[in-house]
Amino acid sequence: MATTLIAQATIFDATCAKPFTGSVLIDGNRIASVITGRDRPQADHVIEADGKFLMPGMTEGHGHLSFENVTATENLITPCPEEQVFTAARGAKALLDAGFTSVYGASEAKLRLAVAVRNEVNAGRIPGPRIRAGGLEISVTGAMGDESKEHNPRVGPSTLVDGPEEMRKAVRTHCREGVDNIKLDVSGDPFYPSTPGHTTPMSFEEIKMAVDTAHAYGRKINAHTRSIQGSKDCIRAGVDGLFHCEYSDEALLDMMEEAKDRIFVVPTIDLFDCMATGKAANWGITAEVAGWMGIPGLIEESIKTHTALRQRGVRHLIGGDFGFAWSAQGAQARDLQHFIKYYGYSSADALICATRNGGQAMMADGSLGTIEAGKLADMVLVDGDVLADISLLTDTSKLVLIMKDGSLYKSPA
């Protein structure tokens, strides 16, 4: 196989080591060696990094590839699948352009959108990151995703089930259709006034059936959970990834700490930050509207919970619910700034959430997310000191090299 040397970079390897000067030798799709200092092994191709910041590729931890400029659920429901698959493909490309070499899928507007894009990316026919494909969200009658009324039935953006046996069939269908990550709507949500975020419409028995069925197929299962009871039920049932998790009490924090080597937690902060600070005002969600929806209170709960989880060593991923008109695909690196501002992360530890933790969520064998010998070669070279100014990662012009699986998607001129 051809070898590539990225020579004389400032290497952030995401292992908790301090950045150091060195070079990385890539053989095929793996990192063959990491060389500290000035030594330069022979290679078929040499890329001079000239001291630029080399880091692992990032992972979007709550991916909705098919969400593009969404302002209402109609944007998800009404387009035909033939058009929406192009939407999902554009979302995948936007993430790779932004240095996200992996996407841990949450859900999509239709069941097989991410599956189709994942297959095309894997075949090398379209550009995109590594994808663990999400399907439709699975919810219950009267909860988030159920948009019918008795006098006006309509299909919402979720698969609706009631009871463990219907849940078993829904999860089996997702697995049959090639979905990697199953997502449950366990709690309520501020966008659904009849079931606000602190409520828990889905039963423990339904969650447990989903977990057992998904795991029997070797798939992962994740949950939209804002409520205390919903998050506790998810931990007890064996859910792999918990999205949002604003509300908490001491017992829940203890449960999450006890499960910290098994679970991943993904806050959704950019979406709410934009709403609460008026950045979504052009689409009708002013700061005043966000106040009526209870968004400032949810942000306060998020700060309290996720600061505590950071202090307890629970693994966070960045990303979540990007694809709204005010939170565009490809802007996910903004979450790094939010992790520092709201949750007290250092720049280095926020980067670890985006790289090492994301890699562990994508691949449980630990083969992704750090710059170490033997690991998969997903890397980004940045023009500037990212630890001094983490906002550099929101400027794609500063990403001078993007490598996925040992192949150069973007390289210096």
What is the per-residue pLDDT for 363?
A: 97
Q: Where are the domains of the chain?
A: 3-57+369-410, 58-332
Classify residue 125 by burial, with Cβ atoms within 10 Å: 0-12, 13-18, 19+: exposed
What are 169-183's pLDDT values in tens digits?
999 999 999 999 999
Cα–Cα nearest to 246, from 205, 282, 299? 299
DSSP category for residue 367: -
Question: What global pTM score does this model have?
Answer: 0.96
The per-residue pLDDT for 99 is 98
CA distance 291 to 301: 14
Best CATH choice for the domain 58-332 from the list 3.20.20.140, 3.30.470.20, 2.60.40.10, 2.30.30.60: 3.20.20.140
Task: Judge if 3-57+369-410 and 58-332 fold alike in CATH terms.
Answer: no
Which residues of the chain fall below pLDDT 70?
Answer: none
pLDDT at 73 (0 to 100): 87
Write a three-state SS string for 126-153. CCCCEEECEEEEEEECCCCCCCCECCEC
C-alpha span between 158 and 10 (Å, rounded): 45
Alpha-helix residue ranges (DSSP H) falling in 135-293? 164-176, 204-216, 228-237, 250-258, 270-276, 287-293
Q: Using CA atoms, how far apart are residues 38 and 314, in angstroms rounded to an integer?
A: 37
- Domain 3-57+369-410: give its CATH code: 2.30.40.10
Cross-strand bridge partners of residue 130: 102
User: Is residue 37 helix, strand or coil?
Assistant: coil
Supply the pLDDT for residue 149: 86
